[in-house]
Chains A and B, each alone.
Chain A
């Protein structure tokens, strides 16, 4: 019995995919899986393998990728092109308010103020959608960043909201360095801290704690508050786009912040979830790699 040398081995593997071009000339995608059968000396005698025609799966995969890219592009263009006409609506309604408030009767003042807040809300939504579509459409410029700096920048951006609400933000010790895009990660902390301030219990000023610990080669961050907490049935819903727990009129939220945070974290190869007991506050937890293990750099 003969054994196979390495050239014969690869020829045998190639033979499995001889059908990659069909007789009618159509190209097909074939997936080969094979393993060598060795004799007692460890020499390869035979290759046993399966060749599957995976053209349909591959086609579906490519279509999915393309439609995702189209969708992102659409979201970007729609929100970008909507900004200009919206600016006109907002500005002129604001101008009406500025010039004619108190002169057109109280009904008119009320209608105008509804129009102003509607236009402002739409602007926040469009900016949120634009931010969401940018998470995936832009190159992730990842570097080693100190999470002390990320949290410090987030707190600095929220200075006014923190002071006005009488919030205390405590950072638990020295936070580790992570690997990621600085602006995006700052946005995650900013959104989480800002959410904690906005959803505070009416009877106590917000206390927010930012902590970090190592977990399986990742850093696990936690942003905890002493707010009213979230019921378990809402744990997943709050991360869905446009889902909010409060009524539309009494909150400044857009329902985009948490979807944006989760998307940024996932883009970095991490995960994000919430832990909470009603009445006991909530902890938003997410993981970020310590080292460069970004999916963007290691395409599957």
Chain B
């Protein structure tokens, strides 16, 4: 499974990596740290020409250059990308953000839990659901 994590805080990215490591399965996790790089990565533009399209995107909302809401709109309006499940994982509890994400066809909205074990079990549930429960389209 290939995952793209869009997250500007290296500590958060490290923690997510640890979370996936804790689940035990080996996943390919790529990290980009701003919104523009996320779009470039997914469209395989510039030096991302050799990247593969991920199976799942984990997207933070508060990002430099282009915010998560815009990245989500880019993905969901691109015929080559709109099938990729986008899970928004953020610190924001704001009802506005939640509504906006689902209105832009985001697949899921998750708030980062403050406790490490809760965060790890959230990652475990992501894996359980998107890998074992749900069926995804074949890689392009």
What residues on A are CB-neighbors of B114 within 8 Å? 83, 86-87, 90-91, 123
Tell me the complex Cα distance, A83–B12, Å. 13
Q: How far is the CB of B112 from chain A (nearest CB, A)?
A: 7
Tell me the complex Cα distance, A83–B91, Å. 9
Tell me the complex Cα distance, A169–B57, Å. 48
Assess the B116–A88 pair: CB atoms within 8 A: no
Given A88-B11, A88-B12, check contact A95 B116 (CB 8 Å): yes
Assess the B18–A87 pair: CB atoms within 8 A: no
Max count, chain B CB within 10 A of own CB: residue among A90, A91, A98, A123 = A91
Interface membership of B50, Cβ < 8 A: no
Q: How many A-B residue pairs have CB under 8 A?
A: 29
Task: Across the interface, name the chain A residue whose C-beta is closest to B62.
Answer: A84
Q: How far is the CB of A91 from chain B (nearest CB, A)?
A: 4
Given A83-B91, A87-B91, A87-B112, check contact A94 B117 (CB 8 Å): yes
Interface membership of B115, Cβ < 8 A: yes
Beyond known contacts A88-B9, A92-B11: 6 more, CB 8 A cutoff: A84-B91, A88-B12, A88-B15, A90-B116, A94-B115, A94-B116
* 25 cross-chain CB contacts under 8 A: A83-B114, A84-B91, A86-B114, A87-B91, A87-B112, A87-B114, A88-B9, A88-B12, A90-B114, A90-B115, A90-B116, A91-B15, A91-B114, A91-B115, A91-B116, A91-B119, A92-B11, A92-B15, A94-B115, A94-B116, A94-B117, A95-B15, A95-B18, A95-B116, A123-B114
List residues of A whose CB falls within 8 A of some B CB. Answer: 83-84, 86-88, 90-92, 94-95, 98, 123
